Amino acid sequence: MYMFDISFIRMAYIRPLISGACSKYHLMPEQLGIPVSLYSDEMALVPHAVVNEWLTKIAELSGNPSYPLAIADSLTISSIDVKANWFMSAPDLAVTFRRINYGLSCFHSGAHYVGRQSGKLLKWCYDNEYSGTAAGIDSLRVAIMMTSVLRHFTHDGFAPLAVKLKGTDIDINAASEWFGCEVKTGCAMTEVWFDNKLLLLEHAVPRDHNKATLISLFDLDELVNMPQRDDPTKALYEVVNFTRHYGMPSLETVASTLGLSTQQLQRRLHRLGFSFSSMRGYVLNNIAARYMLKGYAPDEVARLLGYSNPQSFTKAFQRVRGCTPKEYMRRMEH
């Protein structure tokens, strides 16, 4: 039993689907309830339950529960827009397959991407217990991504041996046409089946696989920063961080995001040794420091953190750090 049983998806991982759907169906992220500051932050961590709401809202507005099929070109692994996207830089499928399975843990917590072998058959599996009512959409999204990787190392018309999808509200005929094989819905997990001979070197593509990847220590720190289910303090930190995109985080908004009552949240905070105000101050102060290290001006940081005026931010920052934001920036420059 986890104190906060929550999964996160990094914005960079889900944004290609949102962007593709908005372009296809003439929507705006704001229509889905996504603030501009959140949508533009590729490293932001979003609770999976919130992502599920976005995915189902797109289905409602588009009138197409199988819309990932209509925007399949947007759902490649290369569409993840972050520095050092190394997934497709490998020379062959075997290395890429392994790299994606372990690397996506930096973009999606609580889900499992694995390969399971049965004779000459290899099943690329995706298991996610947090997809809820958006299970079919989420399953299609990942199955399309996996198949696109296989086509990259073979040919555009490559068809898996079989595809299994979670969810039932899926256009099976349209799915079978896109994948080029039999598709089953209502399955326990997402599976894309293919012959393991695709892992042979004959399916390699020209690539400078020894090319150096330039990523700053700051960017690396953000990339590996993913809370685990058994770390309630870190999970709570990221929920507070997420809710500040909608204004100053409050006990009510954080509790609602966690699916708790305010009383339940307060009791769990007490067990962790925090009050809500101290936790919020700690989180916002750390986020402020990260923004300033990126070069943001204090007034802009105050706005991004939901403060009603810059003076309130300055006082809150000084209470924790013992210096004003401007003094902090000057110290960091030396």
Question: Domain limits of the chain?
Answer: 8-203, 231-332
CA distance 274 to 14: 32
Name the CATH architecture for the domain at 231-332.
Orthogonal Bundle (1.10)
Q: 195 by DSSP, 3-state: which?
A: strand
Q: What is the DSSP letter of 108?
A: B
CA distance 64 to 78: 25
Tokens of 266: 């307060």
pLDDT of residue 301: 93
Long-range contacts, stretch 170-179, CB < 8 angstroms, 24+ apart: 170/65, 170/66, 170/136, 170/139, 170/140, 171/65, 171/66, 171/69, 174/66, 174/69, 175/66, 175/69, 175/140, 178/69, 178/72, 178/144, 179/143, 179/147
CA distance 207 to 54: 36
Answer for the pair 57, 75: CB distance below 8 angstroms, yes or no: no
pLDDT of residue 288: 94
CA-CA-CA-CA torsion sign (243, 246, 252, 256): negative
CA distance 70 to 174: 9
**CA angle (227, 232, 238) in 5-degree steps:** 50
**Burial class of residue 174 (count of CB atoms within 10 Å of its CB; 0-12, 13-18, 19+):** middle
Q: Please tell me the CATH code under which domain 8-203 is placed.
A: 3.90.1520
**Burial class of residue 227 (count of CB atoms within 10 Å of its CB; 0-12, 13-18, 19+):** buried
> Residue 194 forms beta bridges with which residues?
122
Would you list the DSSP string of 216-261?
Answer: -HHHHHHHT----TT-HHHHHHHHHHHHGGGSS--HHHHHHHHT--
| Per-residue pLDDT of the chain in tens (334 residues, 90 and over written 9) | 678 999 999 999 999 999 999 999 999 999 999 999 999 999 999 999 999 999 999 999 999 999 999 999 999 999 998 765 688 888 889 989 999 999 999 999 999 999 999 999 999 999 999 999 999 999 999 999 999 999 999 999 999 999 999 999 999 999 999 999 999 999 999 999 999 999 886 656 666 555 566 677 777 888 888 998 889 999 999 999 999 999 999 999 999 999 999 999 999 999 999 999 999 999 999 999 999 988 899 999 998 888 888 999 999 999 888 999 999 988 887 6
